[in-house]
Amino acid sequence: MKKNKIKPTTDDPSPDYESAIRQLMDQISRRNTRLEWFKDEQKRLIQEVSEKERFVQAITAHLAEKERSDQILTTQVQALSAQVQAITLHAQGLSTHVTEKEQAVRALTAQVQAITLHAQGLSIQADEKEKFLQVLSAQVAQKEQSVQVLSSKLIEIDRSKAWKMAMFFRRIRILLFPPNSHRARLPRR
């Protein structure tokens, strides 16, 4: 831009002076227009920056909310992990307990089998003893029958006259020759 050196005169306004004033007024008007435009643009930009700041604040708040949510979820995940570890330890304990119980069941099963085998052996022995008892019962029955036969024979003998006579002679012998006496030993020599 050129600087126009205008020499003002007080007497007579020259057309150059008026033209220069008009030019200056036009320039001032254009600058005012531009200044208004800049002010409007500044207001628009301030408003836009304000909206963007509100948007940034909203995003920051949203991000903070997301971070809090992430922290809560992280805490929940840690709590769930701790629960999973506790459950895993409990499951291991239960597994050990089940293994012990299974071993106990196996041991008891082995004892039951041994007892069953022993019971079978005892049952076989009982059967053998029952058979033996039947044989003995049969022998006892035979002996009782023999005893009855012999008892009846003894009773017959005891009631017989020959027995009574033999007993009479025996008593006489005991009177004449008492047992373990000198007279009892003499006939034996």
Amino acid of residue 81? S
For the chain, give the mean pLDDT.
87
| Separation between Cα atoms, residue 81 and residue 94, nearest integer Å | 19
> Do residues 111 and 119 make contact, with C-beta atoms less than 8 angstroms apart?
no
With a cut of 80, say whether residue 12 has pLDDT above it.
no
Whole-number pLDDT of residue 153: 85
Whole-number pLDDT of residue 106: 92
49-76 pLDDT, tens per residue?
999 899 999 999 999 999 999 999 999 9
79-136 pLDDT, tens per residue?
999 999 999 999 999 999 999 999 999 999 999 999 999 998 999 989 888 888 889 9
35-47 pLDDT, tens per residue?
888 889 899 999 9
| Separation between Cα atoms, residue 50 and residue 121, nearest integer Å | 102
> Do residues 155 and 149 make contact, with C-beta atoms less than 8 angstroms apart?
no
Q: What is the dihedral of CA 141, 142, 144, 148, to 10 degrees?
A: 140
User: Tokens representing 82?
Assistant: 């701790």
Cα-Cα end-to-end distance for the chain? 194
Provide CB contacts within 8 A for 4, sequence distance 6+: 20, 23
User: Tokens representing 143?
Assistant: 């002996």
Whole-number pLDDT of residue 83: 92
